[in-house]
Structure 1
Amino acid sequence: MRRGRKKGNKGEPKPYTGLEALLVFPDHGDYVATLDLMRRFSSAVRYGYNRLLEGEDRKALKRESGPLCTLFHLNTRYADDALLKAEALLTSQRELRENPRKVVFGGRKLLADLARLKKANLPLYESRKREWRERRKGTLYARGDRSKGGNLNLRLVVRERSLFGAPTPQMNLWLQINLGEKRYAWALVKTSHPRLQALL
């Protein structure tokens, strides 16, 4: 669990709560489909970043007929959230007075390590290469919307019975992942957080 301080509308900080958990996919097909969704979402973030850098309109990019939905097969909410991540990175680069055209998705330091380790330490090179690929392709982000009844793409679901016959020793808490086209992946959420029920 991570806690922090977040500024409210009037500039006053307010607490926010995060939760760290392990996701277990009882169905291997759901695991593969989720990895593919993460890869497409990460690609959409990079694409959106470059288009915003070129001055393209965010509303045009995220619409259903726009490039993020059609090229990466994302729904409009995923597309909008990919643009939000891209916009936040672009804003950060400008605030830090760094060249936004020199952003390295996956991490500049890791990329430099790869160049250094390729000939010097092959096992470590392969390990760092996997880590770099995970950072570059392993992003999935979705915001909730109170007017829509919560998060339509990533939703925590409490069930009285387990799915797929998977054991649930603490509680039947699942993450429902919207894959698009009315398809969903399910992952068992495993966490030892003592106040999990209160957070739900």
Structure 2
Amino acid sequence: MTNTIKKSSVTRQLILDAAAKKLSQHGYHGTYLKDIAESINMQAGSLYYHFNSKEALVQEVLNKSVHLIRDIVEYEVEQLAKAPSFPDLLRAAIRGHLIAILRHSDYTLASIRNYGQVPETVHNAAQPDRDAYENFWRDLFEQAEKDGVIRTGVDKHLLRLAIFGSMNWASIWYVDSGASVEAIAQSQADLFLNGCYVDGEHRAV
């Protein structure tokens, strides 16, 4: 029985990996169960032993993507010293998100590309996990504003969307950039923490 359960678990993971790759490449409407099955030498009908529908399979891919990102971000934050500063927290969170985005690109691209394409039932089922992760960022900026380390009046919602957009779309240009994950994380954190404008008083000569 144990070997059967283990084999089923391995097969399920193979299906998820194959589905994530197809979804990241072709999108929800261009991905078919038969293509997923063929890519791992499986009969399409066999997929239904593990997932009762395409929607159920896609929902699990989306959930796994969010879990990967959240777990890696939490790990990076946990490596910080006790009572870390806001800049250190932001750098760690950006680094963790980018590690997930760039090293697990099939899953994260599948999520980024397909979240707006999936049926409403899949979208609604995946939303709680997505909200839970986004709440980490909301809390981070709320606390930073209370501590007076970001400007009062900054639109925290737009700030979060801007950071997410910057991180998520790194998956598109990352390979061609030649930069490391660490270098991209440092650059993005520095841009959001310090901006790019140098006034006359501080301009280099």
Place the TM-score, normalised by the shorter chain, in its bin. under 0.3
Q: TM-score, normalised by structure 2?
A: 0.26
The structure where strand makes up a greater share of residues is 1
Larger Rg: 1 or 2? Answer: 2
Structure richer in helix, relative to its length: 2
